[in-house]
């Protein structure tokens, strides 16, 4: 594979001169434009007009006009475009890290952890990334195109606690509708499970909205987080023992040590 790629690369270098042969001429055409810059569209329009004029002029050596050569000789040799567009492929040799990922074009793609430390061969185009080891295809991924995504990890490559967090998106979305502290409380329970989660605890908290308002449940979860308790009983006990007036007052003042106004009325009497 390496010998093939080296020979292919050398062949490309031989033809590169033919592709770039017209570039010095285009640069000379653009020199008459001057130093001003009015955008890429204006420069492209300027070059298009210059190229039309250049195609009508006779070549100094061949004494032929480029437009005549195109229409009389080259057009007859042109063939139809392929049904599918040509897709450039990139290749890379990389080493699988301990976390089971290999880097390709500044993005990480997952493999089975048993391959960590091994050198793999990666081929990628605009849509797919294929990872090979000793000529055997190990894994394929969709090419990461988003600038905000760094990793592509298959579900069967996730760690146990990562799998739980991904599978439990339903719980987190439902908790978020109740309140931000409820979402944090449920997320902590799911992450604490490390692969095993007692869903009775999760559904117990999410079902409290039958008897309590969302504000009260959110404040109770905040209290449980403050005392570092992930117990459903802590949340329920706080809701049952705390007067509703205190709950509302604590939420408005954001202070858990505020007293009930009724207590001040007793002192005044």
Residue 234 and residue 188 share a domain: yes
Provide the pLDDT for residue 260.
63
pLDDT, tens digit, for every residue of 234-249? Answer: 888 888 876 554 444 4
* Cα–Cα distance for residue pair 218/11, rounded to 1 Å: 67
Contacts for 112 with CB less than 8 Å, ≥ 6 apart: 100, 138, 139, 157
Q: Is residue 83 part of a domain?
A: no
Report if pTM > 0.95: no
Q: Which domain holds residue 129?
A: 90-156
Q: Are residues 256 and 236 in the same domain?
A: yes
Q: Which of 191, 193, 187 is nearest to 171 (CA)?
A: 187
Asked whether residue 95 carries a pLDDT value surpassing 60, the answer given is yes
- Cα gap 56→160, rounded to integer Å: 70
Instruction: State whether 137 and 218 are in the same domain.
Output: no
Whether residues 233 and 199 share a domain: the answer is: yes
Q: Are residues 68 and 139 in the same domain?
A: no
Asked if 219 and 249 sit in the same domain, the reply is yes
Identify the pLDDT of residue 29.
80
pLDDT at 263: 63
Residue 269 falls within a domain, yes or no? no
Residue 94 in any domain: the answer is yes
Establish if 267 belongs to a structural domain: no
| Boundary residue ending a domain (112, 135, 156) | 156
**Neighbouring residues of 189: CB distance < 8 A, sequence distance ≥ 6:** 197, 201, 202, 230
- Asked if the structure places residue 85 within a domain, the reply is no
180 domain residue, yes or no? yes
> Are 40 and 25 contained in the same domain?
yes
Task: Examine the domain organization and report whether 169 and 244 are in the same domain.
Answer: yes
Same domain? For 171 and 123 the reply is no
Do residues 182 and 251 both lie within one domain?
yes
- In 3D space, the residue among 192, 146, 139, 187 whose CA is nearest the CA of residue 166 turns out to be 187
Question: Confidence band (pLDDT; 50, 70, 90) for 129?
Answer: very high
Question: Is 105 part of a structural domain of the chain?
Answer: yes
Same domain flag for 70 and 126: no
User: Does an H or E element contain 48, and which?
Assistant: helix 40-56
Same-domain pairing of 194 and 252? yes
In the predicted structure, residue 112 carries a pLDDT above the cut 90:
no
| Among candidate residues 77, 99, 123, the one where a domain is terminated | 77
Question: At which of 108, 132, 156 does a domain end?
Answer: 156
- Residue 38 domain flag: yes
Q: Could you read off the pLDDT of 200-230 as tens digits, one per residue?
A: 888 888 888 888 888 889 998 888 888 888 8
Of 14 and 221, more confident: 221
Q: In what helix (H) or strand (E) does residue 22 lie, and over which residues does it extend?
A: none
- Structural domain count, the chain: 3
């Amino acid at each position: 594979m390496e010998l093939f790629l080296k020979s292919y690369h050398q062949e490309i270098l031989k033809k590169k001169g033919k592709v770039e042969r017209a570039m010095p001429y285009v640069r000379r055409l653009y020199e008459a434009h001057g130093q001003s810059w009015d955008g890429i569209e204006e420069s492209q329009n300027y070059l298009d007009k210059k190229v039309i004029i250049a195609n009508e002029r006779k070549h100094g050596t061949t004494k032929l006009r480029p437009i005549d050569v195109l229409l009389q000789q080259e057009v007859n040799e042109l063939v139809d475009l392929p049904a599918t567009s040509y897709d450039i492929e990139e290749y890379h040799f990389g080493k699988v890290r301990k976390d089971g990922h290999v880097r390709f074009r500044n993005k990480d793609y997952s493999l089975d952890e048993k391959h960590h430390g091994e050198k793999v061969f990666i081929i990628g185009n605009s849509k797919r990334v294929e990872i090979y080891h000793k000529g055997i295809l190990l894994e394929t991924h969709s090419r990461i195109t988003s600038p905000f995504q760094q990793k592509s990890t298959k579900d069967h490559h996730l760690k146990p606690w990562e799998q739980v967090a991904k599978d439990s998106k339903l719980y987190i979305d439902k908790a978020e509708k109740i309140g931000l502290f409820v979402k944090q409380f449920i997320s902590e329970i799911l992450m604490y499970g490390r692969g095993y989660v007692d869903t009775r605890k999760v559904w117990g908290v999410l079902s409290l909205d039958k008897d309590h308002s969302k504000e009260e449940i959110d404040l109770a979860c905040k209290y449980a987080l403050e005392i570092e308790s992930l117990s459903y009983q802590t949340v329920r006990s706080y809701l049952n023992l705390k007067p509703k007036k205190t709950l509302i007052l604590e939420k408005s003042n954001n202070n858990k040590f505020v007293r009930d106004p009724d207590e001040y009325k007793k002192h005044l009497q």
